[in-house]
Structure 1
Amino acid sequence: MDGNSTKHLISCKRCQHRKIRCSRTFPCVNCATAKAKCEFRENDFKRPPVSREYVASLESRIATLERFLAEVKAAPTDDQRRAMLEHISFQDHLRTAAAVPTAGHLPSESDDDKALREAMTKASLQETAEGSRIYHGPTSIFSDSEVAAASKSPYLGSSASLSTSTPQYVDEYGSLHNPKISLCIGLFFFWQYSQFMFIDREAFVQEYDQDPVNGEFCSEPLVYAICAIGALMSPDPETRSMSTSFASSAQDILMSKDMLRVPRVTSVQALLCCAFYEVGRGNLSKGWLFSGIAFRIGQDLGFQRDPAHWDIKSQLVAPYNFDNEFRRRIYWGSFLSDKIFSLFLGRPTFMHENDADVEFSEPLP
């Protein structure tokens, strides 16, 4: 590997440790500039992160084993202990002996992949009565469809009496297809789009033209939240003055009972836009509140899990209407937004790298 001709799939060890962008050449630009030793891992692939859910599943297995040992210890006779040991299947709770690393042997990449997949099989995405889907992690009692059905959870089942549409909101501007709203949307995408990568511009514009209320990429609160930011980009004082009204409209809809009851991707996007708007206006606590709600709704939707790792046929009634790249963009856009808010406000982060297994998103066009 001489010169800069070799291109690696991952960053070098030094850049990873310093959390800076690496040129992925040998030696990389950063190491060459600092005259530091440049090293790459032998396995030139990104190691999937170990999520907190996987750690929780391991803790659950350990707790199960401890309970079993306590029951064996409390058994009054040796015959009962032998019977308990004969009927227990350790493969239900523990990894096989072959998968446990021995002294001097580190687990290979395939071991990590297998462990991560085992944890994912205990999680599920289940359809709600309103047509949305909610995520249940491996430790959730609702991750088992039979348990969920038996509990008669309000998140499950279907009902023709429930509407899947968002509440119609009419304000002083009337229709969502009026020139003022279209102008503010244009200003947003012209000046601010690069800072809001969790919004898919092409999909949003297409659905805005067709159905700006009930779509997967466009909704009333998202339109108003985008307009609130876009209006601030106008040199016209009258247009800028509409920003407050747009923001109030978006927040009124988002804080309504129906919107909070049903998790939606567009709600995550609209709440993050409102968070940026409020922080920019100096309302730091209000912006922090909106961002926190957005991340929680996103996790409720399971956006921290990469769709490529799901068994769609067994986990979902029907595939999502938007592609995997869109969900990755929402996650990473939210991830970066969380870091921006946390650094700017000096507060702890909501989202952690080890909580997710989302692949890197493609750069914005």
Structure 2
Amino acid sequence: MSRNKGYLKALENYVAQLENSLIRMKETNSEDSRQIILDSLPLGSLLDLNAPQENQTSVPSIVNSAKDQIPQFYDNLAIPGNAAPSDGPLSVIKTRLASENNKKYSTVPEGRNTLSRSPYIILSLSLFFRWLYPSHYFFVYREALLSAFFQDRNSKSYYCSEELIYAVAALGSKITNKSDELYLKSFKYYSLSREIILRKIFQAKDCSFEKEGSSSPKLALIQSLLCLAFYDIGRGENSSAWYFSGLAFRIVHEIGLQLNPAALNGISGEELTQMDIEVRVRIYWGCYLVDHFIAELYGRSTVLTLSNSAIPETDELPNIKAGFEDYMYSDPDKPLLVAAPIKCLILLSRITELYKNENTQLKTTSERIGALSGFNIDLQKWRSSLPKELTWSNETLAEEKDFDPTISFVWYHYYMILLSYNKTFILDSKENTSIIEEAIQDLFYLLRDWIIKYHTFEKCSIQMVTTAVLALQCMNSKNISCIYYNDFTNFLKSPTINYDFLSELFENEISSESLYPLSLSDGANFLADEFPDLSLLSEMDALINNQVYKL
């Protein structure tokens, strides 16, 4: 029986996936890890005995059925490795063999080499960069990662690693429909990334980046740890998220990422190009913002501070269009803003930090309310100073029924800060009441626009969820209008939200008793563990004591 091109391409991808899995099973000494890899193989499901039609794509279809009336986000996804070669300077469509002249940086591990041919991995990366980027993920420079992943001869391989690809894929596959096969792979990708990371950190003899005398290979490790931290936040594993992010920030200090890379260039024997320097700057400020976001989320102190940051501010980096169309949310001709939001959010974090420092010195309620009033004025000044591309108002949200996740994450961060600090004094200040009610109305408009445009919530951000919880907390105070109460409740109860920690909030019927004590930043917070899960600490101890892996 003759086979067409679509069938042959599916067969090639299937063989590549099997090859990659066998290599990883051979390299690990852990039976549990081998079982995870074995379970991840889609035996009998990837290939159809009947040859696919000529116009079918080899990428697994995860498009929801028409009866669900859900937009088809994944149609005709291109796999750069399967397209015709391009001569662009950072084109992702290149041969797998690296240039001999760039051998120092372009040697690609076999496992990662086969990952670039996996349709599931490619689709997961596409979902991540289309829907979650940049938001909290400023620490990832999309073009550098994808160019290294698809083995552009001009890219440096240390911008991509197997653990980073699995970590990003875990986040991307998590925002699909829960019935999709790709969604079921999400935790397996997370587990594989976590296994590689822990082995690298706690097994010095197996840590190749320790031997290279360069800090560059640790960049991907930092990025991987932060991706896993966000994955754990989404599933309610708060202690694990705190540990992973803390490890990342300490590695930042270990390699001196907070220092000016231009001033240190060449000291360790590693020559950095101007683009390398700019990428390091971007990664550091991305780490800084994650540190401050997680600190607000858990009500804890930060690790990275402006006073210890000798690194320059980030600038806009090139947005490479050729071959990356399926990894962009918007029209490729519309530039993606990254540097401007970073600068604005750094300033917002500094305003918040100064307020918290002042507030700890005050004793009476009237003094704290006065400090909060000044804080709110500073927030409004920050908002009015935003560049035109990021500016918004209550009127524009009410009139423009559109939603752009590549911009709105700045607004959500603002509302998270505004509500988390103002709700403490709801009962003590009428000024706070009006500020909170206007913020809740704005959040309702954003929620309405999301529903109009996307219908379901698989791809919503953690900020959408946290601000909705904060809005409900405020409305449960009885001093705030509850006109939008049911809208936020229905959103948080939606079965299409893929954040696992929400189920605990709604085990009982929503009431002021069940939600009002919850908080983002005052003592008890809605993501805090009453009894911290120390399983990761035990796993780390086992690694250190050589109980899991043989050195």
The structure having more radius of gyration, on CA atoms, is: 1
If each structure's helix is expressed as a fraction of its own residues, which one has the higher value? 2
Length-normalised TM-score, structure 2 = 0.34
Length-normalised TM-score, structure 1 = 0.50
